[in-house]
Structure 1
């Protein structure tokens, strides 16, 4: 018999906005926190060495972006998979497909035609101030390129959900090995981390060596980073396995060893993170920052990234599992709007960066303004959109 710490009504969405009989407060807060991390990531990118598109920059933002880029989407897929298996079990295939298309397919389609062109128009104006939005939109959807921005996650998650549905029809026991490791992780979280690390290194490093870090598969607005597609599916399917049965007695139990040893996981996170910076130094100062990196470099760096991603996932969840206070905080108030904020924030961030471009302000000031206003405006816009009849079922 499958037992859950709460209802699986969230399905596989980024957000925890769907209703359920008894919420898992820790996971709800973790999802919302990750949404804010996404907004922070996009707020500071122009002020980094990696994405230096503004006249000012600050090395502290490179530290932030290297960390966020290395784990947050993988963690989103892990959390999104937690309640997928039981959702598939409770619903007929046609109902599951309908729900996924409503929650994921419809928002992706709407955002691809509206949110994304509006976001990238801010970048296009920097190159051609005379360009009209109508001309830019038409070229985007007919000729291209048609970038997806952060919403690539939504269509990939839909594809993963449908794949999981097919796998469930093959055998509902496919997730049993991962679930057993999760149960063992109640007492020995390091065992679960080891499984996560071995699996993700195995699927990520060979693909990274083959494609490199910058290759994207693209077809219209459908895009995904080639080197990470299997990494993301591994996180998703491991999340599916964790949530399949006995959720309250596995790695994510608030009474297990993971939250009790949360500071050890911080240390476990810092070690591979520092090693990643060491490899970046090698790339820039020893290899001369080449366009094509040698395979040995990709293998070592990819291993460190996978180890870091696995450790920080457990570290973050450990802290949220430790926080048992039911008193409502900002994350709780934002929780119902988090998915909508993820969908609508990108043009807000890019237009704020566009507006601040010509001002001689420190990078920290610009990034702080962009982040705070992006949170406020995307939250307010989402709250307004959710008041439209029927919109709350999608957002």
Structure 2
């Protein structure tokens, strides 16, 4: 791992671990609800009777930024990859790295995971019957694999930019270079773009509805927002990363504390808005008032950008050394992401009858999910050629 890219590799691994933590605790949030007759409408595939309101805060914090940051980090190395490999090799690489895991997820991995949730309903079907029924009726389970197909789509959309509009990415890279000393330039532009990308989609689709086209699923209001973060990552990564916004000695890293404070203030404002709606506006029919929805959209975009920036600043400042606790996971992080939902949901299901404290349940599920998905990934990656996929 190069010294220059060490912090970014570690940040990507950290977000993967954060995804596992989020999927672990969502079963134990205070807002969790399970509907046996419509289990896919539940707040999570598994909802335990043991709950803690603190997990509400963690899931809200994660939801505010972590998938957008994943798209940003994924975009960083797209442009150099296209330049080095060419379009044909790039397409073959993406088909193996993203297409194959996505097909495996929707055809086998996610049905196995969601069968744990289905087992809590009154219907009694074997796994084979469950699988066939869903295929016949057009029910597909993406789970965390929605990120994989959407990333593949963004990678495909990067090719026309590479061929016909490279000046756009070059302009973003010049802005990144100017932001080594003045990070607010790029970050301010990303915030404005995020507001434009998110607020109209929020008004049209609402905050929680999902786009569904067969196995292709994604949160509708964030489709353009994710694209903006991916494009921003491409712009930063189009030339030497160490001479731009993410320079290890740049002002983003030097003034990490300022971005952490800004992110904390933005997240605090987002929390206040959400709690205000739950306490004061929950009885209103229809969509929330215009003032609340527009305020929420702007503050959400601000929290998304500033928390992402604060995470990057922290890693640039404190995770550039030769060794880091996250390093053993780095090579297997993608495989862990692809596989983790099966042990996560089945461990939550197994622990449902237990009356042990919720903290112990969370520790068991998180540790079991991480260790089992890591072990399986490490074993699979020993198969010749498997490292091209996982």
TM > 0.5 between the two? yes
C-alpha distance in 2, partners of 1:161/1:50? 36
Cross-structure match for 1:316 = 311
Give the secondary-structure state (helix, strand or coil) at the position aligned to 1:65: helix
Question: Does residue 1:24 correspond to 2:5, yes or no?
Answer: yes
Q: Matched residues in 1 for 2:319 and 2:48: separation?
A: 41
Shifted more, 347-356 versus 185-194: the winner is: 185-194
What residue is the counterpart of 2:23 in the other structure? 42
| 1:289 to partner: Cα distance | 5.4
Q: Is the 8 A contact 2:10 2:319 kept in 1?
A: no
Which among 65, 70, 91 is matched to residue 85 of structure 2? 91
Give the count of matched residue pairs: 376
Q: Tell whether the 8 Å contact from 1:77 to 1:157 is kept in structure 2 after alignment.
A: yes
- Corresponding residue of 2:243: 249
Would you say 1:201 and 2:195 are equivalent positions?
A: yes
Q: Is the 8 A contact 1:218 1:224 kept in 2?
A: yes
The match for 1:75 is 69
Runs of 4+ in 1 over 6 A off after TM superposition: 20-23
Q: CA RMSD in A?
A: 1.6
Alignment partner of 1:272 is 2:266 = yes
Instruction: Write out aligned runs for 1:370-381 (5 A).
Output: 370-381=365-376
**Residue from 326, 332, 336 that aligns with 2:331:** 336
SS in 2 for 1:217: strand
Q: Distance in 2 between matches of 1:191 and 1:51?
A: 40
Provide the secondary structure at the position in 2 that maps to 1:223: strand
Aligned runs of 1:129-168 on 2, under 5 Å? 130-168=124-162
User: Which residue number corresponds to residue 15 of structure 1?
Assistant: none
The Cα of 1:324 is off from its aligned counterpart by: 5.1
Q: Alignment partner of 2:120: what SS? A: helix
The answer for unaligned runs of 5 or more in structure 2 is: 34-46
SS state at 1:92 partner: helix
Distance 2:288 2:139 in 1: 26
Instruction: Report how far residue 180 of structure 1 moved.
Output: 2.2
Say whether 1:260 aligns with 2:272.
no
Alignment partner of 1:355 is 2:350: yes
Change (3 A) 1:260 1:90: same
Map Cα deviations across residues 321-376 of structure 1 (whole Å, 9 max, x no partner).
11255333331111000000000001111001101111112222211211111111
- d(CA) in 1 for partners of 2:378 and 2:242? 32
Residues 140 and 146 of structure 1 are in contact (CA less than 8 Å); yes or no, is this contact kept in structure 2?
yes
Unaligned runs of 5+ in 1: 1-19
TM-score, normalising length: structure 2 = 0.93
State the partner residue of 2:361.
366
Equivalent residues of 1:145, 1:220 under 8 A apart = yes
- 1:106-156 CA-to-partner distances (Å, cap 9, x unmatched) read 111111111100110000001147321111111222213212001000010
Q: TM-score, normalised by structure 1?
A: 0.91
The answer to whether the 8 Å contact 1:102/1:394 transfers is yes
Q: For residues 266-314 of structure 1, what are the alpha-carbon distances to aligned partners after superposition, in whole Å with 9 as ceiling and x for unaligned?
A: 1101111111111112211111255633333222112111111111111
Task: Give the match's secondary structure for 2:312.
Answer: helix
Q: Pick one of 200, 211, 214 that aligns with 1:217.
A: 211
SS in 2 for 1:298: helix
Deviations 1:150-181 (A, max 9, x none): 10000100000010111111121111232222
Secondary structure of 2:218's partner?
A: strand
Residue of structure 2 in register with 1:298 after alignment: 293
CA apart distance, 1:22: 7.3
Alignment check: 8 A CA contact 1:212 1:298 kept: no
Determine the C-alpha separation between the residues in 1 that align with 2:87 and 2:254. Answer: 40
